[in-house]
Amino acid sequence: MNTKKTKLMTNQDKIPITVNGTIIDYVDEYFYLGQIISPKDLTSKETYNRKQQACKGYWSLKDIFKHPLMPTKAKKRIFDSCILPIMTYGCQTWSLTKQNMHKLETCQHSMERSMLNVKLKDKINLEKLRNVTKIKDVTYCIRKPKWRWAGHMMRSNKEKWAKDITEWCPRQNKRKKGWRMKLERWLVLPGRGRPITGKCGKL
């Protein structure tokens, strides 16, 4: 065990733990496999982290994205294959709010403007920019794997902790007010939608 890299997190009393004469520190959040692990405000922290990492990835490839002679089609392919996966890493388990989503969209729009050397003061419509860049929308790239994950959980007949957590029911068999409306916004896509049945009944 590397005691320098080992940290402790708990939602109970912090009891001093010593390993090989070294006291292990307690932390409120921790990076593990590229993601933030935190008991409080996890999604907001992780979306901020994804924005930071995506910006680093973008500017590490600035010789491509900012090159005036590089075709926009080539920039689009590199952005979709290199930057968007960074921005959406681990999104299957996010509980996004409109504010979180807006921040990711804003980050993507700023990169699109940078790619085309367009300034905010130019006041060019975002739809026009997207028609030029034709890069995938970050909102779509987040919703698609969440749908895929939900379908995977529904088809699974095995006893898995991930499935149990996804279908978790409160002890009183009642969720907070407004949960159905929020769920339907994620489950119903334009032109298609279907009821889903879980342990708590029809959703």
Token pair recorded at residue 127: 């739809």
Asked whether residue 62 carries a pLDDT value surpassing 60, the answer given is yes
**Do 53 and 90 belong to one domain?**
yes
**Do 12 and 61 belong to one domain?**
no
**Do 139 and 55 belong to one domain?**
yes
For the chain, give the percent of residues with pLDDT over 90. 35
Q: Is residue 185 part of a domain?
A: no
**Do 8 and 95 belong to one domain?**
no
**Do 20 and 43 belong to one domain?**
no
More confident residue, 38 or 174: 38
**Do 43 and 28 belong to one domain?**
no
Asked whether residue 176 carries a pLDDT value surpassing 90, the answer given is no
**Do 69 and 118 belong to one domain?**
yes
**Do 17 and 67 belong to one domain?**
no
**Do 58 and 10 belong to one domain?**
no
Q: What are phi and psi of 31, to 5 degrees?
A: -90, 125
List, for residues 120-165, the tens digit of each pLDDT value: 888 888 889 999 999 999 998 988 888 887 777 777 776 666 666 6
Domain that holds residue 53: 39-144
- Asked which of 102, 120, 144 is the last residue of a domain, the reply is 144
AA letter at 153: M
**Alpha-carbon distance 186 to 203, whole Å?**
12
Is there a contact between 152 and 166 (Cβ–Cβ < 8 Å)? no
Q: How confident is the model at residue 180 (pLDDT cuts 50, 70, 90)?
A: low
Q: What are phi and psi of 98, to 5 degrees?
A: -60, -35
**Do 28 and 103 belong to one domain?**
no
| Residue 201: per-residue pLDDT | 44
* pTM of this structure: 0.70
**Do 71 and 13 belong to one domain?**
no
Highest mean pLDDT among 95-99, 159-163, 172-176, 186-190: 95-99
- Could you give the angle at which helices 138-155 and 98-115 cross, rounded to 10 degrees? 130
Instruction: Provide the number of structural domains found in the chain.
Output: 2
Opening angle at CA 32, ends 31 and 36, nearest 5: 45
